[in-house]
């Protein structure tokens, strides 16, 4: 059967001396901009990097801690808009804003997640969708739209302050964001950004690996498995869940900073529910909780459509339709994702066995 | 004062649309503990199918435009959407019942995207209108009550919605099949031990829910005159809010939740701010889930610690 | 010397009084058994001690320290480890990982230490592993340490839950029907194990239906019926108590 010979091939690939494979891979990755000289494709890979960061950040919340989060774009937006506003208005260098973006996203995440931590799976999902939409609407409406609040007795002074007040730039967003600059060098070309983003992704993968196998990582897994048992075994589940949200959000905020300084123009529509869906699918379709899974998922959700666009030009119209169908088909035939984490695969195998024996 | 009454009436009208859609969400969730993300798009399909059928029958076939014909077309549209609902369950949901929550969510999202873009490809990305010809079916009569203006069409929509909801309520409360549905919603295993065919019930739920949603869609089309392929998204999430407000899984709850949400939205549009009206609806959703996740009439949803 | 003091403990669920003005102590170093017919409120008492829900009235003190209002993880940190009637292991984690989880509240490395991995964190991780292995060997589960918890045979799962609770380094070990579902040999091994645990300085409070176990290893026994304490004393005293016999209608295993 095709399925098993593919598995054989992958098995053999995996057994090949890992270091050999990794060196080749590393060389390819480092030399990529020189090998593929097309600006367009380097740009595509840059998109891959940004979404990989977002996927990895969501993986902490969704994959490790098992918290259903379908509003992740909100954290991305906080980081991006913080960078955009402070950079375009006060001319602060974007690199300095990296920690600011991360910190603000984390604080925001803690504030909004604290009241909803007690919710069960699906409900948490819906609340996060709600939060995501509220953030997007707020960004689109801008501060001036809050003028109606001055109708409340006692708040008349707001009318003067809020009329015409522009913070987020409304539906058109913000332009003129500074490009990142360090020691006199400004990142301008796509291939400059390529190495910058690559460095971030490599660091992120490295850090995630360590988190995964740490005391905190184990705590997340326990909370995901059985929250009551985890709490009774001495794990502060509230703290652990808040940390998941905070760290996941901080990273998304950092991704937002990088994105803003890359495209230099941002608008609310880049942070819509659809974006959250993409991130969610990257994690689940790739393999929930698995780092290679998230990377593969990002390839599938971001790079593949671009490749298809080149190869099958007239597919454009049908792109989204096929996308939706592909999502359904993928889940029906491989619910554990493309590169599942060891745990999840075992869980599903045993679930299937249980059904089979009924 | 007239403003208030006006908004109240508008609110009830919008509310009954939300209620019809919310019923679909709540029934599916009650029986499967699954959020049917594609449900809003089934509602949207109802709007488009209604348009297409009306056009086909009235404009192309030249059938006399009458109230009876309209009601007949309602039934046809409901049946069509119900059929699609069943296919949806079979293809996108049933294979995943054992696989856990996450794959089901992604599959539902995928189905939603598929339906939305399918409609966009078939009928275009711009909005479509329910043609003027239909005005003869429901004459543009408007009454003045207490300083507010009530249109005949509004009244008609309210009546149809009320009939549908009453019908569902009696079905669920007083028939054997309805009781079986409530049993399955409580506990699959026990229900099947009692001799209930759980899959049959699930199919039934995917028949009734989408049918009601489809009816709602056609009503929205007739009422507002303008439909677009993202209708499912904008109405869907709010209808889901309504279902949660009333207590998800609870059928009378969905009806009440829909009406209340419609009222909140109308009052927000009239007295607060149009730009923020969706955000206010979501805010209501968030508040309910934080403080009273059961909703007004529903079940426990928070983790016990 | 009382390690755990329970005074006037009351819990109502709607109209039902599950625990009714319960008064008892668990003395340092002893094995206290709690028996009673089904529905007597025994597991509810355990849940109240663990902090899973708050009592309506009464006090619970560990070493004189009031436990009321504390969240379960803090109570565990104070030194109470427990097992569950229905076995709540982390099913998709390995045996080793389950026991390591017990070390969480005794260790400190946070997210920053996890990423940076300073010397102190690496040492801590090593110690966590060593401690976990020690407890696994004690419970005779070391061989299965890489096995997933859900794949273990039933008897081993029960022992694993105890191992996990022991990893917390508790002063008080609370066991909810540890012998349920075990065969005769496993039951005997369990009794030995519990004695050894007590021997290492840990106080034990257990619920059990298997009379051989309770009577065999408990220093003292309290008897619950309908939420109230109806008897208290040594196994011999309790066995002969007519009220106890009446509550059970002469049931004895």
* Among candidates A217, A225, A229 on the partner chain, residue whose Cβ is nearest the Cβ of C114: A217
Question: Which positions in chain A have a beta carbon within 8 angstroms of at least one beta carbon in chain C?
Answer: 207, 210-211, 214-219, 221-222, 225-226, 228-238, 243, 247, 343, 346-347, 350
Instruction: Name the average pLDDT for chain C.
Output: 91
CB contact under 8 A, B109 and A119: no
Confidence grade of residue B300 (pLDDT, cut at 50, 70, 90): very low
CA–CA gap between residue C50 and residue C72 (Å, rounded): 6
| Window 92-151 of C, Cβ < 8 Å to A | 92-93, 97, 100-102, 104-107, 109-111, 113-115, 117, 121, 124-125, 128, 148, 150
What is chain A's Cα-based Rg? 22
Residues 6 or more apart whose CB falls under 8 angstroms from that of B6 comprise B147, B148, B149, B270
CA–CA gap between residue A269 and residue A132 (Å, rounded): 12
Percent of chain C with pLDDT over 70: 98
Element (H, E) at C20: strand C16-27
Confidence grade of residue B295 (pLDDT, cut at 50, 70, 90): confident
C29 has a chain B CB within 8 A of its CB: no
- The per-residue pLDDT for range B274-287, each reduced to its tens digit, is 778 888 888 888 88
With 0.80 as the threshold, say if the pTM is over it.
yes
- The per-residue pLDDT for range C174-233, each reduced to its tens digit, is 999 999 989 999 999 999 999 999 999 999 999 998 889 999 999 999 999 988 999 999
Burial-class residue A10 by CB neighbours within 10 Å (0-12, 13-18, 19+): exposed
* Locus of tokens 């006037």: C8
Residues 6 or more apart whose CB falls under 8 angstroms from that of C117 comprise A210
CB contact under 8 A, C111 and A231: no
The set of chains that have 3 or more CB pairs under 8 A with A is B, C
Three-state DSSP state, A326: helix
CB contact under 8 A, B289 and A119: yes
Rounded to a whole number, what is the distance in Å from the CA of C179 to chain B's nearest CA?
26
B111 has a chain A CB within 8 A of its CB: yes
Position B305 in a domain: no
Q: Which residues of C16-26 are buried (b: 16+ CB within 10 A; e: fewer)?
A: ebbbbebebbb
* Among candidates A211, A216, A233 on the partner chain, residue whose Cβ is nearest the Cβ of C76: A233
Give the per-residue pLDDT at B290: 86
ipTM of the predicted structure? 0.92
- Record: fold of C2-79+170-248: Rossmann fold (3.40.50)
Position B36 in a domain: yes
In this prediction, residues C5-20 reach a mean pLDDT of: 92
Position B299 in a domain: no
DSSP string, A4-40: HHHHHHHHHHHHS-HHHHHHHHHHHHHHHHHHS--HH
B109: containing domain: 2-291
Closest among A272, A276, A269, A287 to A248, alpha carbons compared: A276
DSSP string, chain B: -HHHHHHHHHHHHHHHHHHHHHHHHHHHHHHHS---TTHHHHHHHHHHHHHHHHIIIIIIS-----HHHHHHHHHHHHHHHHHHHHHHIIIIIGGGTTS-HHHHHHHHHHHHHHHHHHHHHHH-SS-EE--GGGGGTS---EEEETTEEEEHHHHHHHHHHHHHHHHHHHHHHHSHHHHHHHHHHH-HHHHHHTT--HHHHHHHHHHHHHHHHHHHHHHHHHHHSEE-TTHHHHHHHHHHHHHHHH-TT-HHHHHHHHHHHHHHHHHIIIII-STTHHHHHHHHHHHHHHH-TTTTT----BPP-
More confident residue, A167 or A297: A297
Sort out which chain C residues have CB atoms less than 8 A from B305's CB and list them. 52, 71-72
Confidence grade of residue B53 (pLDDT, cut at 50, 70, 90): confident
Burial-class residue B60 by CB neighbours within 10 Å (0-12, 13-18, 19+): exposed
Sort out which chain C residues have CB atoms less than 8 A from A216's CB and list them. 109-111, 114
| Count of CB atoms situated within 10 Å of the CB of A245 | 27
Asked if B284 contacts B241 with a C-beta cutoff of 8 angstroms, the reply is yes
Asked if A62 contacts A70 with a C-beta cutoff of 8 angstroms, the reply is no
CA–CA gap between residue C7 and residue C1 (Å, rounded): 15
According to DSSP, the residues that pair with A181 across neighbouring strands are A186
Instruction: Name the average pLDDT for chain B.
Output: 84
CB contact under 8 A, C90 and A222: yes
Rounded to a whole number, what is the distance in Å from the CA of A254 to chain C's nearest CA?
17
CB contact under 8 A, A130 and B282: yes
A335 has a chain B CB within 8 A of its CB: yes
**Which of B100, B304, B305 is the best substitution to test chain C (most C C-beta atoms within 10 A)?**
B305
Percent of chain B with pLDDT over 70: 91
* Among candidates B96, B275, B278 on the partner chain, residue whose Cβ is nearest the Cβ of A331: B96
Chain C residue closest in CA terms to A235: C73
Q: Give all strands (DSSP E) within chain A, no chain letters.
A: 174-175, 181-182, 185-186, 265-266
- The per-residue pLDDT for range A288-334, each reduced to its tens digit, is 889 999 999 999 888 888 887 777 665 666 778 888 899 999 999 99
In this prediction, residues B130-153 reach a mean pLDDT of: 72
For residue C136, the number of C-alpha atoms closer than 13 Å in the C-beta half-sphere is: 24
Query: Cα-Cα-Cα-Cα dihedral of B292, B297, B302, B304, to 10°?
Result: 110
Kind of pairing between the strands at C2-13 and C16-27: antiparallel
* Locus of tokens 């019942």: B97
Give the per-residue pLDDT at B146: 65
Position B304 in a domain: no
| Window 276-305 of B, Cβ < 8 Å to C | 304-305
| Count of CB atoms situated within 10 Å of the CB of B277 | 18
Q: Report phi then psi at B261, rounded to 5.
A: -65, -40
| Window 238-267 of B, Cβ < 8 Å to C | none
At residue B48, does pLDDT exceed 60? yes
Structure tokens at C248: 């059970």
CATH number at residue B76: 1.10.3470
Asked if A140 contacts A268 with a C-beta cutoff of 8 angstroms, the reply is yes
What is chain C's Cα-based Rg? 19
Sort out which chain B residues have CB atoms less than 8 A from C72's CB and list them. 305
Number of domains in chain B: 1
- The CA–CA distances, whole Å, from A50 to A92, A94, B285, C197 equal 22, 16, 31, 53
CA–CA gap between residue C221 and residue B279 (Å, rounded): 60
A306 has a chain B CB within 8 A of its CB: no
Contacts A–C by Cβ distance under 8 A: 100
Burial-class residue C242 by CB neighbours within 10 Å (0-12, 13-18, 19+): exposed
Give the per-residue pLDDT at A353: 56
* Among candidates B96, B276, B289 on the partner chain, residue whose Cβ is nearest the Cβ of A126: B289
Percent of chain A with pLDDT over 70: 91
Closest among B15, B12, B73, B11 to B47, alpha carbons compared: B73
* Among candidates A121, A130, A284 on the partner chain, residue whose Cβ is nearest the Cβ of B286: A130
Residues 6 or more apart whose CB falls under 8 angstroms from that of B33 comprise A122
Q: Report phi then psi at B66, rounded to 5.
A: -140, 165
According to DSSP, the residues that pair with B151 across neighbouring strands are B142
Q: How far is CA C192 from the centre of its chain?
A: 16
CA–CA gap between residue B166 and residue B172 (Å, rounded): 10
Give the per-residue pLDDT at A357: 44
Give the per-residue pLDDT at B271: 73
Give the per-residue pLDDT at B299: 60
Sort out which chain B residues have CB atoms less than 8 A from C71's CB and list them. 305
- The per-residue pLDDT for range A97-117, each reduced to its tens digit, is 999 999 999 999 999 999 999
CA–CA gap between residue B239 and residue C67 (Å, rounded): 45
Position B300 in a domain: no
At residue B114, does pLDDT exceed 90? yes
Rounded to a whole number, what is the distance in Å from the CA of C184 to chain A's nearest CA?
28
The set of chains that have 3 or more CB pairs under 8 A with B is A, C
According to DSSP, the residues that pair with A174 across neighbouring strands are A266
DSSP string, C27-93: ETT-EEEEE-STTSSHHHHHHHHHTSS--SEEEEEETTEE-TT--HHHHHHHTEEE--TT----TTS
Sort out which chain C residues have CB atoms less than 8 A from B303's CB and list them. none
Position B296 in a domain: no
Position B302 in a domain: no
Task: Domain ranges for chain C, please list them.
Answer: 2-79+170-248
Give the per-residue pLDDT at A151: 76
Closest among A325, A326, A306 to A316, alpha carbons compared: A306
C243 has a chain A CB within 8 A of its CB: no
Confidence grade of residue A350 (pLDDT, cut at 50, 70, 90): low
Residues 6 or more apart whose CB falls under 8 angstroms from that of A176 comprise A88, A264, A265
Give the per-residue pLDDT at B305: 31
More confident residue, B75 or B294: B75
| Window 38-97 of C, Cβ < 8 Å to A | 50, 52, 71-74, 76-77, 81-82, 84, 88-93, 97
């Amino acid at each position: 059967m095709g399925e098993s010979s593919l598995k054989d091939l992958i098995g053999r690939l995996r057994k090949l001396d890992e270091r050999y494979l990794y060196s080749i891979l590393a060389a390819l990755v480092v030399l990529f901009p020189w090998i593929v000289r097309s600006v367009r494709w380097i740009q595509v890979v840059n998109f891959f990097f940004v979404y990989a960061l977002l996927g990895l950040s969501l993986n902490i919340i969704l994959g490790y801690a098992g918290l259903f989060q379908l509003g992740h774009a909100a954290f991305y937006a906080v980081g991006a808009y913080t960078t955009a506003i402070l950079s375009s208005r006060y001319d602060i260098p974007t690199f300095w804003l990296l920690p600011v973006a991360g910190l603000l996203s984390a604080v925001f995440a803690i504030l909004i997640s604290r009241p909803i931590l007690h919710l069960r799976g699906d409900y948490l999902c819906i609340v996060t969708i709600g939060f995501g939409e509220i953030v997007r609407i707020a960004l689109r409406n801008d501060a001036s739209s809050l003028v109606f609040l001055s109708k409340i007795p006692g708040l008349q002074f707001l009318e003067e302050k809020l009329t015409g007040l522009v913070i987020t730039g409304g539906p058109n967003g913000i332009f003129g964001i500074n490009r990142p600059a360090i020691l006199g060098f400004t990142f301008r070309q796509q291939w400059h950004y390529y190495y910058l983003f690559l460095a971030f992704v490599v660091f992120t993968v490295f850090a995630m690996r360590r988190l995964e196998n740490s005391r905190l990582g184990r705590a997340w897994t326990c909370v995901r498995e059985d929250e009551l048992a985890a709490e009774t075994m001495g794990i502060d589940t509230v703290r652990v869940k808040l940390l998941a949200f905070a760290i996941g959000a901080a990273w998304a905020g950092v991704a937002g900073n990088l994105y803003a300084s890359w495209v230099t123009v941002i608008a609310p529509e880049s942070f819509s529910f659809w974006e959250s869906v993409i991130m969610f699918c990257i994690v689940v379709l790739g393999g929930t909780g698995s780092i290679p899974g998230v990377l593969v998922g990002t390839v599938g959700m971001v790079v593949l459509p671009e490749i298809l666009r080149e190869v099958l030009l007239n597919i454009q119209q049908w792109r989204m339709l096929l996308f939706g169908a592909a999502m359904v088909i993928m889940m029906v035939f491989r619910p554990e994702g493309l590169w599942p984490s060891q745990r999840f695969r075992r869980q599903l195998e045993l679930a299937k066995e249980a059904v089979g024996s009924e | 004062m007239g403003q208030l009454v006006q908004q109240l009436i508008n609110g009830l009208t919008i509310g009954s649309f939300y209620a019809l859609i919310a019923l679909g969400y709540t029934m599916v969730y009650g029986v499967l503990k699954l959020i049917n993300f594609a449900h809003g798009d089934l509602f949207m399909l109802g709007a488009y199918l209604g348009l297409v059928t009306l056009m086909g029958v009235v404009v192309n076939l030249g059938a006399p435009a009458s109230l009876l014909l309209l009601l007949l077309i309602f039934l046809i549209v409901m049946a069509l959407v119900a059929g699609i609902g069943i296919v949806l369950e079979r293809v996108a949901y049933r294979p995943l019942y054992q696989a856990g929550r996450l794959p089901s969510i992604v599959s539902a999202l995928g189905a939603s995207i598929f339906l939305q873009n399918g409609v966009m490809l078939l009928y275009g990305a711009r909005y479509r209108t329910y043609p003027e010809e239909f005005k003869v079916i429901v004459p543009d009569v408007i009454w003045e009550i207490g300083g507010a203006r009530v249109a005949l069409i509004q009244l008609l929509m309210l009546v149809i919605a009320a009939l549908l909801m009453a019908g569902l309520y009696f079905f669920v409360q007083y028939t054997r099949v309805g009781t079986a549905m409530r049993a399955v919603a409580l506990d699959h295993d026990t229900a099947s031990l009692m001799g209930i065919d759980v899959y049959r019930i699930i199919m039934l739920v995917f028949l009734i829910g989408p049918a009601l949603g489809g009816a709602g869609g056609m009503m929205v089309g007739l009422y507002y005159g303008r439909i677009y392929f993202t209708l499912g998204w904008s109405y869907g999430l709010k209808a889901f809010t309504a279902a949660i407000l009333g207590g998800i899984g609870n059928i009378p709850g969905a009806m009440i939740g829909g009406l209340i949400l419609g009222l909140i939205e109308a009052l927000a549009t009239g007295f607060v701010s149009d730009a923020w009206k969706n955000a206010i609806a979501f805010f209501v959703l968030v508040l309910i889930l934080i403080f009273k996740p059961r909703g007004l009439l529903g079940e426990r949803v928070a983790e016990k610690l | 010397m009382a390690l755990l003091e329970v005074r006037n403990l009351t819990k109502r669920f709607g109209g039902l009084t599950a625990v009714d003005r319960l008064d008892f102590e668990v003395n340092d170093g002893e094995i206290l058994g709690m028996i009673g017919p089904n529905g007597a409120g025994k597991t509810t008492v355990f849940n109240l001690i663990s902090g899973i829900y708050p009592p309506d009235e009464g006090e619970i003190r560990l070493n004189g320290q009031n436990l009321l209002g504390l969240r379960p993880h803090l109570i565990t940190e104070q030194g109470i480890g427990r097992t569950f009637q229905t076995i709540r292991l982390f099913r998709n984690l390995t045996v080793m990982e389950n026991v390591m989880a017990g070390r969480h509240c005794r260790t400190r490395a946070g997210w920053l230490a996890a990423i940076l991995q300073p010397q102190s964190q690496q040492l801590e991780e090593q110690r966590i592993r060593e401690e976990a292995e020690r407890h696994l060997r004690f419970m005779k589960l070391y061989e299965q340490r890489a096995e997933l918890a859900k794949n273990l045979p039933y008897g081993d799962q029960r022992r694993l839950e105890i191992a996990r609770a022991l990893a917390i380094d508790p002063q008080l070990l609370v066991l909810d029907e540890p012998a349920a579902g075990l065969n005769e040999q496993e039951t005997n091994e369990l009794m030995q194990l519990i004695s050894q645990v007590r021997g290492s300085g840990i106080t034990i409070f257990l619920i059990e239906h298997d009379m051989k176990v309770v009577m065999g290893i408990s220093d003292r026994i309290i008897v619950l019926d309908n939420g109230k304490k109806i008897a208290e004393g040594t196994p011999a005293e309790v066995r002969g108590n007519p009220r106890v016999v009446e509550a059970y209608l002469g049931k004895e295993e």
